[in-house]
Structure 1
Amino acid sequence: MPSPPRAAVLAVLASAQFTVLLATSIVNVALPQIRDGVGLSDSATTWVVNAYGLAFGALLLSGGRASDLLGHRRVLLAGLGVFGTASATAALAASPGVLIAARAVQGVGAAAVAPAALALAVGLYAPGPARGRALAVWGAVSGAGGAAGVVLGGLLTRAWGWPWIFHAVAIGSFAVLAATAVCVPAARPADRARFDWAGTATSALALTALVWGLTTARRSGWTDIGVLAAFAAATVLAAAFWRIERTSASPLVPPRLFASRDVTAGNLLTGLFGTVWIALFFFLPLYQQQVLGEDPLTTGLGQLPLALANMLGATLAPAVAGRIGGRATLVAALLTETAGMLWLSRISADGTFLTDVLGPSILVGLGLSVAFVQLTGLSVAGVSGADAGLAGGLANTTRQVGGAVGLAALATAAGSVTSRATGNQPPLQALTDGYRAAFALGAAVLACTALLAALLVRRAPAGDLPHRTPPPEPAAPGRP
């Protein structure tokens, strides 16, 4: 039987990434309905989001390494099965415990799907323009998945009720699983080393403690005893992980992964980039609903210009990089996103979508997508097939952890500004002041990231970023 065209295989793998990101954002606009439908308390409602993010972020490294050792296709299929089953369970949940547990298991499945799918996608093409175009597709789909989740969440909740947001994800997961089984060729694992169980356990627990402490700090404050205990545990576990990795014969994160300057720089910049990415999609819908008074569906539809700009930017990224170089493209993209965030920092309490949201959304979407494509390529540049899944998992981990850090810090800053303004300003103005502060701080972080990119990224990045030299002969489909 002939192998499917690489474009078809890439489409299937990108659909897996789309599904994971869809599940991340699809619940956001439906949280009030989910709370009332299952009987969640206000504090427990946040765990509908946090349970997924915790499991996803904590296990990405393990999922990436498992895919290298067991086979990328095999782990992708297993992850999609777990993800789809957990989604269906969430749709049928009649109690808070079942729903939150199902969301956590969704995160476990996503932690296997994301790095395995990226490793397979990168392995389809040799370094050069062809791989750059594949990463552009990846970036466009990633942006579309996040925005589509907000739109679909509003549509499905209004039409058929909140369980259908999980039914839709389950249906999509099983459809992608079937397509993967048919279209993605099997390949032998690239690495026969033993799995590092001790490193896996300590890294997962350290990341869980860190992300839990950061998400709890948004509600309880940075000096809460539980938050401080979580940070202390994360520090101890991280030290234990470092010691285990130094002595392990088959470490979870092999030192050779950081032999590439591109990989090291890519992960550092991705972590900083993630601090603003996740916070943006947290604060912007809140401003639209709480200040502009939009309903969930209108808020979701308001994300479409950002999504379209995101897809356009990702599509143009390889051509731009081919003309001006990878480093200049990355810096320009980060500065474009910075300009959009600065524009958002000028929102007003009596504003409108057209005057306050549309323009900056387009700028942010263009910059975000191009930066995502370049950083993804940088984070896997020069990595062998034996480490492709781990490299993808590491890049996703730094983005997730960076997002948790950024959201906690920016939410705390926004809350502090709003608290100080309350009593001196009308309520909507106080809220707006807080959101403006968050967007301004996000712009400052992005500007610093652009400066670091100019200093750390080589003028002509090697490996997977698009460049002008002809690529080697393309690899066969299914290469791990």
Structure 2
Amino acid sequence: MSLTEKTGPGPEVRSAGSTGLTPRLRLVLVVLLVAQFMLAVDFSILNVALPQVGRSLGIALDDLQWVATAFALCAAGFTLLFGRLADLFGRRRMFLAGLAVLGLASLAGGLSTSPAMLITARVFQGLATAAVTPAGLSLLTTSFPEGPARDRALGLNGALMSAGFTTGAVLGGVLTDLLSWRWAFFINVPIALGVLLVAPSVIKESRPSSRPRPDAAGAVSVTLGLLALVFGFTQAGRDGWGSALTLGPLAAGLALLVVFHAVERRQQAPLMPVAVLHRPTVAWGNATGLLAFLTETSLVFLLTLYLQKVLGFSPLAAGLSFGVLGLGTVVGGSFAPRIIGRVGTRATLIGGGLLQAASTFALLGLTTSTGGSLALLLVTTFTGGVGNMLVIVGFMITATSGLPDHEQGLATGLATMTQQIGITLGTPVMSAIATGSMASAAAPDVLHGITTAVTANAALVLTGVAIALLFLRKPRPAATPAP
């Protein structure tokens, strides 16, 4: 799909060249990355605080999952729809509107006095995330020229998405223990306000000069399909994999996605043109990215469960334990561009995936004893974070490079959806596997459920390695722009 942008990279970008950025572009980069980092933090900041939330508002243990699920359903289900609306009506407009909703919803969440008020706030936080994330990433690609500048910006974006999830786990524990779980919501308010004050003056509007007819059938089918899938995976953790409330939504979700694919093949202005998926770098690059985001972010949930339910750690201690994972993501993100420059994206994807898989399999050595288990957890989460970040940066570059200009926006939108769905589906999937393997809430049974899920997690990482090994090839020389 070819769209003529109302505003694209102007003289300022071109004068900056491929190796340097003007001061305004650096500010644009900072503003967009701060917003994306905040959204990533939101995915995990309440994980370690959920028990305190339940006690404070009188939410039963079985119903606590809805605090996370209400957010996840909306964040994943509406990403493609809002991304398309941003393309049609203005990406900056959608970005700013989403941030305003996020700030208000976060304020309401922190002031919640009932379960209904809290769940409603989480719904609007999820909707805001679905609006801001694709709009922000599209603004990122339209603000920077294709080449090293855009690769660097996309790499930083992917790194901060992963690091933000880890930071959320750490920050959630610190805020809950030192202040209150309510500050996991309140912290968003000044950040959102700050971005809203700065962004309008530094980010230019970006939208097509003509508006094609909205793809209503595609929007409805993909949104309902993603909602059904997330709901089905969530119900699996509560009612088991054989439950009608699990199998029904999962089957409906898959059927609706098949309908979506059929609809898109016939639309003149499709929500997601399927032809671009015929490109191996796009199709298989997004597959590896989906598994990378799904596995490492859900591992944070599993290890939070382990630290609190098996070892008896406080939220503060559990949160701080993930500091080494955050350090690993920083190290991996820092070295990824250099490694990719030397060995290429495919080798980086394979090597990073193998490192992450080995680190995840090592977690099968965790026991109910604190001593050796804590040391093992700290070492393996660090090395796993390094490996995962190598994969994520490699994915962002692979899935958005080697394409003609008119397909860049679509490739970026797909990468956005991939990271959103990966982060969103990871916790429900691993929660379903873990809880389905637990005979009781006793520490040994909880540990058994966690190790079962860790095994599945590592197997998914190896699946990503196999995809990169078998289906991703070195780009053809013709695909490289002439100097």
AA of the residue aligned to 2:198: A
Task: Determine whether 1:316 maps to 2:316.
Answer: no
AA of the residue aligned to 1:374: G
Alignment of 1:463-474 (within 5 A): none
Give me the TM-score of the superposition, normalised by structure 1.
0.89
Alignment of 1:55-66 (within 5 A): 55-66=74-85
How far 1:386 sits from its partner (Å)?
Answer: 5.8
Task: Determine whether 1:451 maps to 2:466.
Answer: yes
Alignment of 1:35-46 (within 5 A): 35-46=54-65
Give the one of 216, 232, 236 matched to 1:217: 236
Task: Name the SS of the counterpart of 1:251 in structure 2.
Answer: coil
Give the one of 111, 125, 129 matched to 1:106: 125
The answer to whether the 8 Å contact 1:209/1:233 transfers is: yes
Write the distance in 2 (CA, Å) between the matches of 1:236 and 1:132.
Answer: 36
Task: Determine whether 1:70 maps to 2:89.
Answer: yes
Give the one of 198, 202, 227 matched to 2:217: 198
Counterparts in 2 of 1:36 and 1:383: CA distance versus 1, 3 Å: farther
The answer to whether the 8 Å contact 2:285/2:395 transfers is: yes
Structure 1, 35-44 or 297-306: larger mean CA deviation:
35-44
How far 1:217 sits from its partner (Å)?
Answer: 1.0
Write the distance in 1 (CA, Å) between the matches of 2:478 and 2:391.
Answer: 17
Write the distance in 2 (CA, Å) between the matches of 1:92 and 1:115.
Answer: 28
Task: Determine whether 1:363 maps to 2:378.
Answer: no
AA of the residue aligned to 2:399: S
Partner of 1:411: 431
Partner of 1:275: 294
How far 1:272 sits from its partner (Å)?
Answer: 2.7
Please give the per-residue CA displacement for 1:347-390, whole angstroms capped at 9, x wherever unaligned: 12213364221110111110111111111222222456666555
Write the distance in 2 (CA, Å) between the matches of 1:463 and 1:166.
Answer: 49
Give the one of 422, 434, 437 matched to 2:452: 437
Partner of 2:4: none
AA of the residue aligned to 1:458: R
The answer to whether the 8 Å contact 2:166/2:297 transfers is: no
AA of the residue aligned to 2:334: T
Q: How many residues align?
A: 463
Task: Determine whether 1:160 maps to 2:179.
Answer: yes
Counterparts in 2 of 1:401 and 1:9: CA distance versus 1, 3 Å: closer
How far 1:271 sits from its partner (Å)?
Answer: 2.5
Task: Name the SS of the counterpart of 1:250 in structure 2.
Answer: coil
Give the one of 275, 292, 295 matched to 2:311: 292
How far 1:93 sits from its partner (Å)?
Answer: 1.9
Which runs of 5 or more residues in structure 2 are unaligned?
Answer: 1-11, 13-21
Task: Name the SS of the counterpart of 1:391 in structure 2.
Answer: helix
Alignment of 1:219-298 (within 5 A): 219-298=238-317
Write the distance in 2 (CA, Å) between the matches of 1:222 and 1:359.
Answer: 33
Partner of 1:84: 103
Partner of 2:18: none
Partner of 1:172: 191
Counterparts in 2 of 1:179 and 1:287: CA distance versus 1, 3 Å: same
Partner of 1:207: 226
Task: Determine whether 1:395 maps to 2:410.
Answer: no
AA of the residue aligned to 1:457: L
Counterparts in 2 of 1:404 and 1:79: CA distance versus 1, 3 Å: closer
Give the one of 37, 54, 72 matched to 2:73: 54
Counterparts in 2 of 1:226 and 1:308: CA distance versus 1, 3 Å: same
Q: Which has the higher contact order (CA 8 A, sep 6+)?
A: 1
Structure 1, 116-125 or 10-19: larger mean CA deviation:
116-125
Write the distance in 1 (CA, Å) between the matches of 2:375 and 2:116.
Answer: 43
AA of the residue aligned to 2:351: A
Please give the per-residue CA displacement for 1:85-131, whole angstroms capped at 9, x wherever unaligned: 11112112222112111111111111111111112223333333333
Task: Name the SS of the counterpart of 2:48 in structure 1.
Answer: helix
The answer to whether the 8 Å contact 2:433/2:452 transfers is: yes
How far 1:153 sits from its partner (Å)?
Answer: 1.5
AA of the residue aligned to 2:379: G
What percent identity do the matched residue pairs reach? 35
Please give the per-residue CA displacement for 1:41-97, whole angstroms capped at 9, x wherever unaligned: 223321110001000000111122122222222211111111111111211222211
Structure 1, 39-48 or 308-317: larger mean CA deviation:
39-48
The answer to whether the 8 Å contact 2:364/2:454 transfers is: yes
Please give the per-residue CA displacement for 1:313-358, whole angstroms capped at 9, x wherever unaligned: 1111111000111111111111110111011121122133642211
Partner of 2:8: none
The answer to whether the 8 Å contact 1:22/1:169 transfers is: no
Write the distance in 2 (CA, Å) between the matches of 1:417 and 1:226.
Answer: 18
Write the distance in 2 (CA, Å) between the matches of 1:111 and 1:390.
Answer: 16
Task: Determine whether 1:5 maps to 2:24.
Answer: yes
Which runs of 5 or more residues in structure 1 are unaligned?
Answer: 473-480
Q: What's the Cα RMSD here?
A: 2.6
How far 1:195 sits from its partner (Å)?
Answer: 1.9
The answer to whether the 8 Å contact 1:309/1:365 transfers is: yes
How far 1:144 sits from its partner (Å)?
Answer: 2.6
The answer to whether the 8 Å contact 1:52/1:104 transfers is: yes
Give me the TM-score of the superposition, normalised by structure 2.
0.88
Write the distance in 2 (CA, Å) between the matches of 1:238 and 1:463.
Answer: 34
AA of the residue aligned to 2:446: L
Counterparts in 2 of 1:27 and 1:386: CA distance versus 1, 3 Å: farther
Write the distance in 2 (CA, Å) between the matches of 1:28 and 1:440.
Answer: 21
The answer to whether the 8 Å contact 1:128/1:471 transfers is: no
AA of the residue aligned to 1:248: Q
Write the distance in 2 (CA, Å) between the matches of 1:446 and 1:45.
Answer: 28
Write the distance in 2 (CA, Å) between the matches of 1:461 and 1:375.
Answer: 18
